[in-house]
Amino acid sequence: MPFVKVWLHFVWSTKGRHPYLSDEIRTKVFEHIRENAKQKGIYIDFINGYLDHVHCLISLATDQTLKEIMQLIKGESSFWINKNNLTKTKFAWQDEYFVVSVSEDTLPSVRRYIANQEEHHKTVSFDDEFEGFLKTAGFQKFRDSD
């Protein structure tokens, strides 16, 4: 049996970054995502977000791919939100997402960062946060050449 521990910090947003995720909806959606992920064998260590996006700390299993995890989480939760009429208009997640690996020694700070999303977004917009992630992870140079 292989022993693997790969931590990933996923970030994705609502379609058009529409603020669908009010406090009430956000709580229901995150509970559902966590339960659905558990049923699918996806280990979510921490999940939180704000009105228009989600942060999720996941431990990747040996038989999982990033694409598969995002399909299982985003696709199923979007279907569930619409089936349960949680929003007034049709809900969708944006296609693009951000994911970066997290080292074991930074897990506590990543968990704190994810936990403090509401406070954080009182002073920083999601657009600025996302651009900061891309720049810190070295993706900015790819976006600038588009």
Looking at per-residue confidence, does 146 or 98 come out higher?
98
Rounded CA separation 68/19 (Å): 26
The DSSP string of 55-114 is EEEEEEPTT--HHHHHIIIIIHHHHHHHHTT-SSS---EEEEEEEEEE-GGGHHHHHHHH
Query: For the residues 88-101, what does the mean pLDDT come to?
Result: 94
Whether the per-residue pLDDT at 73 is higher than 80: the answer is yes
Whether the per-residue pLDDT at 146 is higher than 70: the answer is no
Over residues 31-72, the pLDDT tens digits come to 999 999 999 999 999 999 999 999 999 999 888 999 999 999
Can you give the pLDDT at residue 141?
53
- Strand partners for 31: none
What is the model's pTM?
0.86
Say which residues have a Cβ less than 8 Å from residue 48's Cβ, sequence separation at least 6. Answer: 30, 54, 55, 114, 115, 117
Can you give the pLDDT at residue 5?
86
Burial of 139 (0-12, 13-18, 19+ CB in 10 A): middle
Q: End-to-end CA distance of the chain, in Å?
A: 43
Task: Calculate the average pLDDT of the chain.
Answer: 90
Assign 132 a pLDDT band (cuts: 50, 70, 90): confident
The domains located in the chain, with CATH, are 6-144 (3.30.70.1290)
Q: Which strands sit side by side in the sheet containing 93-102, from one edge to the other?
A: 43-50, 53-60, 6-14, 93-102
Rounded CA separation 129/120 (Å): 9
Can you give the pLDDT at residue 119?
87
